[in-house]
Structure 1
Amino acid sequence: MDPALLLGLVLAFGALLAMISMEGASFTALLLPAPMVLVFGGTIAVGIASGTMRDALLAVKALPRAFRGERNTGQTVIEAIVGYAETARAEGLLALERSVADEQDPFLKQALQSIADGTDAEELRLVMEDEIASAAARNRTAARFYTTLGGFAPTVGIIGTVVSLTHVLEKLDEPSTLGPLIAAAFVATLWGLLSANFIWLPIGGRLRRLGELELERMTLMMEGMLAVQAGSPPHFVGERLSALASDRRPPRRRRAAAEEPALDS
């Protein structure tokens, strides 16, 4: 588990509490139900309205992952694939079928089963590339949903402040109540800015980064399993995957660069 999101949120809200304490204010003065209901409820509502129900459901399903983090590191993937290369080298590709039941990653499990079934290398590459493209699209959708919430939240907060100030104007004949009413009116704007920058945008950014890491991991799996299918020596598989793991270019650019003909000297 990667605690970066939890740690960041705790530090951010801790800094807010420290400021409130140093200013001599009361945090309970910010916990007003009415503006919080409008800001959080209204923001989520317009976020759903800006897309489709499928987008919203994907975002909800992706939320636990934002707190949990990436499951496997690149080194873990490389070690697993090198192990499969050793098995295939010693016992043949059919021996990989014994590892299908023990493999936890669905993407790698599908590749193992396809290799054991004798799937053609080009067909296997196409299937795995389609899976990678689908996963990338899901990750983009989830990250975009929370980033969109971060864009809506400040404006929804301003709407709440305008509504509250309208109520303040109705009380001009009671000067003693104007101060607390005006202070309460700006709580909606505060929660709009706070939720956008302390909650929605960090979650969106976190999911976008996790999507990039998942794309790199799936690409490593694809290239590694294709090398295993081709009968490459285990040490070569490990060296190639280590090189790919250190290359931060997108997979399409890496393949394009590899396929470019060498220039004549």
Structure 2
Amino acid sequence: MDITTIIGLLAGIAAMVGGFLWEGGSLSGLLQPNAALIVFGGTLAAVLVSFPASRLRSAAAGLRLALSRQNDTSREQAEELISMATAARRGGVLALEKRAEEHPDPFTREGLFLVVDGNDPAEVRQILELHMDARELKYEGYAKVFEAAGGYAPTMGIIGTVMGLIRVLVNLTDPSHLGASIAVAFTATLYGVASANLIFLPIASKIKSRSQSELNRMEMLLVGILSLQNGDHPHLVRQKLSSFLPDNIRSSDAGVKPDSPPRGEKL
């Protein structure tokens, strides 16, 4: 689990409820099943209408992506590509065939096989960029479901409030219950706005952030794989890949002397 996502969700809800209680409100005043049914039931219905079943089934994968912990392996993968560059300069790209067969990352494995098979660099780039586009579209599809929910929820909250106010107007003959009835009506708006801005839209933003990190990783791998095919020196490969690494990783390596080229070789 990604602890920052969990803490953010819980902190947002706690701040909202805590502020309400601090002002003298009661917890029972926030718990209105009828308002929750209108807002969340209506939002779910609107989302069901908006997307096909295949897209809706992927929403669970999007939620797992947002809540799961993602380890940054960009440095390890960069070092692995530099090691492959050394092997390729010594034994040619065919020396990478065994590594390709055993590599756990599908994108890297596909790129290495394309290089080992002797495909044109332009074709290698095109195929790998298609894989990147497909990954981006998949993550974008995840985010759109939650963005749609974040757009519908406040509207459903307003609908719930209007319905509650209609009930209030019907019962104007009993002024003693007007205040409580109006408070219940506006609870629906609270549910809609709060769920959109504390849950649905932040989850969509987290998915987009994860998507950008994944695409940056794949772009780094693409540059490294093309460098292997081009026969670049490991030091040059390191220079290319360093631009994709986070600033904190690059700064930690700033004082490390890069690998010197073997004697007799030129950069």
Shift of 1:148: 2.1
Question: What is the distance in 2 between the residues matched to 1:106 and 1:19?
Answer: 48
Q: Percent identity over the alignment?
A: 36
Match of 1:7 in 2: 7
What are the superposed Cα offsets for residues 204-252 of structure 1, whole Å, 9 maximum, x if unpaired? 11111221111111111111111112221222111111124479xxxxx
Question: What is the distance in 2 between the residues matched to 1:237 and 1:135?
Answer: 25
* Uncovered stretches (5+) of structure 2, i.e. residues with no partner: 248-267
Question: What is the distance in 1 between the residues matched to 2:62 and 2:112?
Answer: 26
Match of 1:212 in 2: 212
Provide the aligned C-alpha RMSD in A: 2.2
Shift of 1:168: 2.3
What are the superposed Cα offsets for residues 25-64 of structure 1, whole Å, 9 maximum, x if unpaired? 2223212222112212211321232333333333332111
Number of residue pairs aligned between Structure 1 and Structure 2 = 247
Question: What is the distance in 2 between the residues matched to 1:20 and 1:220?
Answer: 48
SS in structure 2 of the partner of residue 89 of structure 1? helix
CA contact (8 A) 2:164 2:185 kept: yes
Question: What is the distance in 1 between the residues matched to 2:15 and 2:133?
Answer: 40
* Uncovered stretches (5+) of structure 1, i.e. residues with no partner: 248-265
CA contact (8 A) 2:111 2:124 kept: yes
SS in structure 1 of the partner of residue 104 of structure 2? coil
More divergent stretch after superposition (35-44 vs 195-204): 35-44
Whichever residue aligns with residue 222 of structure 2, its letter is: M
Match of 2:48 in 1: 48
Match of 1:20 in 2: 20
Shift of 1:101: 4.7
CA contact (8 A) 2:217 2:244 kept: no
Match of 1:181 in 2: 181
Shift of 1:69: 4.7
Question: What is the distance in 2 between the residues matched to 1:187 and 1:38?
Answer: 11
More divergent stretch after superposition (189-198 vs 172-181): 172-181
Match of 2:143 in 1: 143
Question: What is the distance in 1 between the residues matched to 2:135 and 2:152?
Answer: 26
Question: What is the distance in 1 between the residues matched to 2:71 and 2:112?
Answer: 19
Q: 1:2 to 1:226 in 2, by over 3 A?
A: farther
Question: What is the distance in 2 between the residues matched to 1:151 and 1:172?
Answer: 33
Shift of 1:8: 1.7
Match of 1:236 in 2: 236
Question: What is the distance in 1 between the residues matched to 2:70 and 2:118?
Answer: 31
Question: What is the distance in 2 between the residues matched to 1:2 and 1:228?
Answer: 34
CA contact (8 A) 2:157 2:193 kept: yes
Match of 1:37 in 2: 37
Matches within 5 A, 1:1-265: 2-245=2-245
More divergent stretch after superposition (87-96 vs 211-220): 87-96
> Stretches of 4+ moved more than 4 A in 1?
244-247
CA contact (8 A) 1:12 1:198 kept: yes
Q: 1:190 to 1:86 in 2, by over 3 A?
A: same
More divergent stretch after superposition (69-78 vs 186-195): 69-78
More divergent stretch after superposition (150-159 vs 138-147): 138-147
Question: What is the distance in 2 between the residues matched to 1:129 and 1:95?
Answer: 24
Whichever residue aligns with residue 200 of structure 1, its letter is: F
CA contact (8 A) 1:216 1:245 kept: no
SS in structure 2 of the partner of residue 25 of structure 1? coil
Shift of 1:189: 0.5
Whichever residue aligns with residue 221 of structure 1, its letter is: L
Whichever residue aligns with residue 30 of structure 2, its letter is: L
Question: What is the distance in 2 between the residues matched to 1:103 and 1:27?
Answer: 54
Question: What is the distance in 2 between the residues matched to 1:207 and 1:86?
Answer: 36
More divergent stretch after superposition (198-207 vs 167-176): 167-176
SS in structure 1 of the partner of residue 172 of structure 2? coil
Give the TM-score normalised by structure 1.
0.84
Question: What is the distance in 1 between the residues matched to 2:175 and 2:132?
Answer: 63
Shift of 1:184: 1.2
Whichever residue aligns with residue 87 of structure 1, its letter is: A
Question: What is the distance in 1 between the residues matched to 2:8 and 2:98?
Answer: 43
Shift of 1:80: 2.3
Match of 1:256 in 2: none
